[in-house]
Amino acid sequence: MTRVPFICGNWKLHKNVAESVELATAIKNAVGPIRDVEVTIAPVFTALYAVGKRLEGSSVALAAQDCFWKSDGAYTGEVSAELLRDVGCSYVIVGHSERRQFFGELDAAVNLKAKAALAAGLRPIVCVGESERERDAGETFGRISAQLEGSLEGFGQEAAAKLVIAYEPIWAIGTGRTATPGQAEEVHAFVRDRLKKQFSAAGDSIRIAYGGSVKPDNARLLLEQPNIDGALVGGASLKADDFLGIVKYRSG
């Protein structure tokens, strides 16, 4: 099964509108001729519209970092999937470990968000990952399994075709401590197996991206693993050269 590698830069809470447009422009210009990798960037909410406009006509896709599950109403501070679509997003990250950790987001909420994203025509990037304590206690597979079950509850094959899963071990996010290719592939193969059980053949087409201190110098070995179909990149996505070094991992 050939899966087009998916590389997404998660800019988190960094960069104002002008800085975001500047970085998006550098990425857009460099990615122009690249067709064998799908490149996506996820700026802060306030920069989405301007970055979306700048990306028009390019192959770089726009993602949001979160969404709410209701379309509209009295939900102060929230942003719906429909509104994200309206400003040019085609993807949305849901269930990032920072949302789970700092905002108490549970799998049931991740599930509602992913469903709302699909209903609005967005493709959800569903994040899962174990903590250091869970890994040390031998609970990695149980944790990932529970997160997948809760987050993807009620999803059918049609939805599966639009999903991206991001495996992000929490102990590797922003720490400089990357999972070894072997450690990551072991979990990705487990996730693949689970996806095939839930979605049959469609499970084989779902891209599973790895996230956790991916950098230009470790991207290649990770992305060469059979079930690692891309990368969700935090810190290294904030500088054009670093991010592009990951996008061009094959030439590294």
- Closest to ligand PEP by CB, 94 or 232: 232
Which residue of the set 105, 168, 185, 188 is catalytic?
Answer: 168
Alpha-helical runs (H) found in 36-130: 48-55, 81-86, 97-103, 107-119
When asked if residue 214 is in the footprint of ligand PEP (CB under 6 A), the reply is yes
When asked if residue 174 is in the footprint of ligand PEP (CB under 6 A), the reply is yes
Contacts of 181 (CB under 8 A, 6+ apart): 221, 222, 224, 225, 228
- Closest to ligand PEP by CB, 21 or 128: 128
Residue 34 dihedral angles phi and psi, to the nearest 5°: -80, 120
188 included as an active-site residue: no
Best CA proximity match to 80, nearest among 20, 127, 128, 122: 122
Best CA proximity match to 143, nearest among 155, 133, 129, 132: 129
Of 212, 216, 230, 245, the residue at the interface with ligand PEP (CB under 6 A) is 212
- Closest to ligand PEP by CB, 53 or 177: 177
168 included as an active-site residue: yes
Instruction: Please name every residue paired with 63 in a beta bridge, in sequence order, or none if there are none.
Output: 91
Of 5, 7, 9, 10, the residue at the interface with ligand PEP (CB under 6 A) is 10
The residue ranges that bind ligand PEP (CB under 6 A) are: 10, 168, 173-174, 211-214, 232-236
The catalytic residues are 96, 168
